[in-house]
Amino acid sequence: MSQFFTVLKIDLSMKYYFGVALAVAGLTFCLYQMFFHPLAKYPSPTLAKFTAARAAYYAWKGDVHLDIWLCHKKYEIRSEAMLLTIAGNDTTSTTLGAALFYLGKNLHAYEKLAGEIRSKFRVVDEIGQDKTLRNCHYLHGCIYESLRMSPPVGSSMWREVGPGGTSIDGEYIPCGYGVGTGIYSIHHNAEYFPRPHDFIPERWLSEKDGFICKEQADIASAAYIPFSAGTRACLGRHLAITELLATIAALVLLYDFRISHTGNGELGSGHALGRNGRTNPGEFQLYDRVTSGKKGPILQLRSRKGN
């Protein structure tokens, strides 16, 4: 009998020590993941680990609460909101500046846009995200043309050459090399966009209202990539267009404006004595700094009575 108790005691002791060792190892692993892992200094993964640990605890108890799922959903909503509004702040302001520059430089486009906006809206409170604003076709054309001429991210979309390599213009490029063409260069290629250095919103309208045929319009649409393309395309492109539509419509309805006639009125323009590619006074000048840096434009505004 005593031998039985001795064996039982040893067996229970082994289970106890094994359980303690397993718990210590698990705790050590969790602490490492939360505080010492290379990604631990970034808050999002750390907070997600705490949430996952809480979810695992309730799952072990057989009591999976809905609030765990809601916590993840709230976190995702906050993350998406920050990404769409903060990350797109600089690029949207660049496009807005470009659009105002081109409208100030091209009186015919400004007058045509003013006629469209002021015929559809009487007061600024009527400007909303409804079909009336969406049906302002010339406004859409002005925004698309501004994005074409002055893309807020105009640098190359780099892609890695796949197995077997590729040939471009007779030049062989091995597998693994990065290749790319600047968005600005594509948008100023006359094969895709006739008169590429002219501000022509009509190129984005229907064949009836525009100046190009349907075949040319299809080519232009395929080459138009201000928000990049594929899986790396800008997530906030629809929000950006919505912001630009509402902002420009409100400005045109509330004010008459023009490029400043003072000494700084040419800020943002190209100059005849500028470097190669910066000699066009009718093109809003951008500077590649991940996104596009800019200077100007400087406008003079006059409030319209009754708005």
**Binding site residues for heme, as ranges?**
234
In order of 46, 68, 123, the CA distances from 27 in angstroms are 15, 22, 63
Burial of 9 (0-12, 13-18, 19+ CB in 10 A): exposed
Q: Which residues of 24-37 are buried (b: 16+ CB within 10 A; e: fewer)?
A: eeeeeeeeeeeeee
* DSSP string covering 140-177: HHHHHHHHHHS-SS-SB--EE--TT-EEETTEEE-TT-
Query: Binding site: which residues?
Result: 234
Burial of 39 (0-12, 13-18, 19+ CB in 10 A): exposed
The separation between the first and the last C-alpha atoms of the chain, rounded to the nearest angstrom, is 101
Residue 277, phi-psi category: left (phi > 0), alpha (psi -120 to 50), beta (remainder)? left
Residue with tokens 């680990």: 49
- Number of Cβ within a 10 Å radius of residue 155: 17
258 within 8 A of 104, measured Cβ to Cβ: yes
Per-residue HEC secondary structure of 201-231 comes to: HHHHCCCCCCCCCHHHHHHHHHHCCCCCCHH
The four Cα atoms 62, 67, 69, 70 give a dihedral, to 10 degrees, of 170
